[in-house]
């Protein structure tokens, strides 16, 4: 299992779903695994009130199939680093079928139109590798930044 960043408590101890997500998705620490499994990047997503989600690597076929499987998240989220690398921080489960839940956790609803160009959908973020002070399943994480992605484009 991948370690959390220094200074963060073990999230898996506080929520069993986090431990399961970390165990079955640790392979995504290497972004090349995500691309080999059909995931493609969308630009870094940040919030107007601060924080970010990071760069999502999205697998459109998994969104289209409507099936939620813990080991096949529809999106894998990375924080861009100053050296150009990407650090795995979370996964996101997405479905157009709802209401949806995973391991007893209800998904949030996102209507349409939305910034992703998707029809209405249900989603659940799981911050399994980066502690999120606003909640393990919140959308934005104030400890994640898109600053390195923006700097790389300048």
- Domain limits, the chain: 26-153
CA distance 154 to 151: 5
> pLDDT value at position 150?
61
> What is the rounded CA–CA span in Å between residue 87 and residue 44?
13
DSSP conformation letters of 134-149: T-TT-S-BTT---HHH
Q: Closest Cα partner for 128 from 22, 25, 1?
A: 22
7: confidence class by pLDDT, cuts 50, 70, 90: very low
Is it the case that residue 12 has pLDDT exceeding 60? no
User: Structure pTM?
Assistant: 0.89
| pLDDT digit string, tens, across residues 99-121 | 999 999 999 999 999 888 889 99
pLDDT tens digits, residue range 22-75?
A: 999 999 999 999 999 999 999 999 988 889 999 999 999 999 999 999 999 999
DSSP code of residue 64: H
């Amino acid at each position: 299992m991948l370690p959390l960043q220094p200074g963060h408590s073990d999230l898996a101890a506080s929520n069993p779903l986090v431990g399961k997500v970390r165990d079955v998705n640790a392979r995504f620490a290497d972004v090349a695994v995500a691309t080999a499994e059909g995931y493609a990047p969308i630009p870094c997503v940040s919030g107007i009130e601060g924080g970010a989600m990071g760069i999502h690597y999205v697998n459109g076929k998994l969104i289209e199939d409507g099936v939620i499987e813990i080991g096949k998240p529809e999106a894998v989220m990375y924080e861009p680093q100053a050296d150009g690398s990407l650090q795995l921080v979370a996964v996101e489960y997405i479905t157009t079928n709802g209401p949806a839940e995973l391991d007893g956790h209800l998904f949030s609803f996102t209507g349409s139109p939305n910034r992703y160009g998707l029809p209405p959908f249900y989603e659940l973020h799981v911050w399994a590798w980066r502690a999120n002070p606003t909640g393990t399943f919140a959308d934005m994480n104030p400890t994640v930044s898109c600053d390195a992605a923006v700097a790389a484009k300048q």
